[in-house]
Amino acid sequence: MNEVPKQTTKVAALAGGVGGAKLAHGLQMALEPGALSVVVNTADDMTLWGLHISPDVDTVMYTLAGVANRELGWGIEGETWRNTEMMARYGRDPWFRLGDMDLATHILRTEMLRDGRTLTEVTADLAGALGVPSLILPMCDERVETLVSTEAGNLPFQEYFVQRRHADRVIGFTFRGIVDSVPTPQVLDTLEAAEAIIFCPSNPFVSTGPILAVPGMREAIEAAPAPRVGVSPIVGGAALKGPAADMLDALGHEVSPYGVALLYRGLLDGFVIDREDEAHSERIRELGMEVLVTGTVMKSDEDRERLARDVLGFALGLKERRGA
């Protein structure tokens, strides 16, 4: 793929965890250094052992830095777990494991935040040190916390997701603190300057959901001149990773790319679906979106870059539709 020239197009991508990070990585490979900004969900941040953990920011950061643990889908490649073992010796339940190298990220983030720096500044500092050639932008600098309403009660996101292995049937979500949050100036600038806005294949409820729920974010995306394109996180009736399919089902939505497209109705100009789901194309077009059918499953770096190029080509082809 090296012979294909890199694009200088400015791109803003909205992302949550693993699926979002993979496409962001593809976009980074396809674009000139500095052309990509990734707006990342921070509503599954948590405090553990007194440290500020930002799981989605870190998944994106490690992936774009080329140090992600591909086996686990989170954390750092070649990680060791001595700290977790010691926590267990102290009798603490290490249900949320912080690797020894990963711990350095959380210690420094917590220290810099305590020194009065914003999450945006801290993230730029950490990502810069890891050599990430893209901007990683937390959706806001205020603390927002996803609570998942289930039959077992309102669960903090990581308790629902990791501790209870997303086994509880979901009734709804609350983003605690969201009403007091605002998109950062960096996010607003990025959206305004973007030539394409890409909604990565992330969970529409707990990844892109909180990003869009930041007051003013949806309006900023709607006001942006760039074409807006989403990539389905559902392929063939299942989520590639995580509980997106179960959540769609539990909340009464169709478990298909159409079900996801319906959630983004009015916001997206185009939607990218897998070849396996081609039969849904016409119904999605009826929602007022153009449709691109291509291979969306990203198993290798080549898959990531090829999908990114397909998505970019599709988005730029929609420019006229947006009058951009």
Q: Which is nearer to ligand FO1, 35 or 53 (CB)?
A: 53
The answer to whether 146 contacts ligand FO1 (rule: CB under 6 A) is no
# residues contacting ligand FO1 (CB under 6 A): 16
**Of residues 26 and 55, the one with the C-beta less far from ligand FO1:** 55
Q: Nearest distance from residue 159's CB to ligand FO1, in Å?
A: 10
Over the range 115-140, which residues count as b (16 or more CB within 10 Å of their CB) and which as e? Answer: eebbbbbbbbebbeeeebebbbbbbb
Contact call for residue 123 and ligand FO1 (CB under 6 A): no
Nearer to ligand FO1, 243 or 270 (CB): 243
- Among the listed ranges 52-60, 256-264, 279-287, 316-324, the one in contact with ligand FO1 (CB under 6 A) is 52-60
Nearer to ligand FO1 by Cβ, of 17 and 227: the residue is 17
Binding ligand FO1 by CB under 6 A: which of 56, 141, 159, 310? Answer: 56
What count of Cα atoms within 13 Å lies in the side-chain half-sphere of residue 196? 28
Angstrom distance (rounded) from CA 80 to CA 96 = 14
Span between the terminal Cα atoms of the chain, in Å = 29
CB 262 within 8 A of CB 284: no
Q: Which segment (95-103, 112-120, 231-239, 267-275) binds ligand FO1 by CB under 6 A?
A: 95-103
Q: Quick check: 37 and 319 in contact, CB under 8 A?
A: no
- Closest approach, Cβ 17 to ligand FO1, in A, equals 3
Alpha helices in the chain (DSSP H): 18-30, 55-65, 82-89, 100-114, 119-129, 157-158, 185-193, 208-213, 217-223, 244-250, 257-263, 281-285, 301-317, 319-322
Cα–Cα separations (whole angstroms), residue 184 to 58, 203, 211: 18, 22, 11
Q: Which residue is nearest to ligand FO1 (CB)?
A: 17
Residue (20 or 270) nearer to ligand FO1, CB: 20
37 lies in the binding site for ligand FO1 (CB under 6 A) = no
Window 67-86: residues binding ligand FO1 (CB under 6 A): 74-75
Q: How far is the CB of 283 from ligand FO1 (least distance, A)?
A: 29
Q: Which residues contact 199 (CB under 8 A, 6 or more apart)?
A: 13, 14, 208, 228, 229, 230, 231, 264, 268
Q: Which is nearer to ligand FO1, 9 or 42 (CB)?
A: 42
Q: From the CB of 73, what's the least distance to ligand FO1, in Å?
A: 6
The DSSP code for 279 is: G
> Does 204 participate in binding ligand FO1 (rule CB under 6 A)?
no
Q: Residue from 7, 11, 17, 271 that binds ligand FO1 (CB under 6 A)?
A: 17
What residue ranges bind ligand FO1 (CB under 6 A)?
Answer: 16-17, 44, 53, 55-56, 58, 74-75, 96-98, 102, 158, 161-162
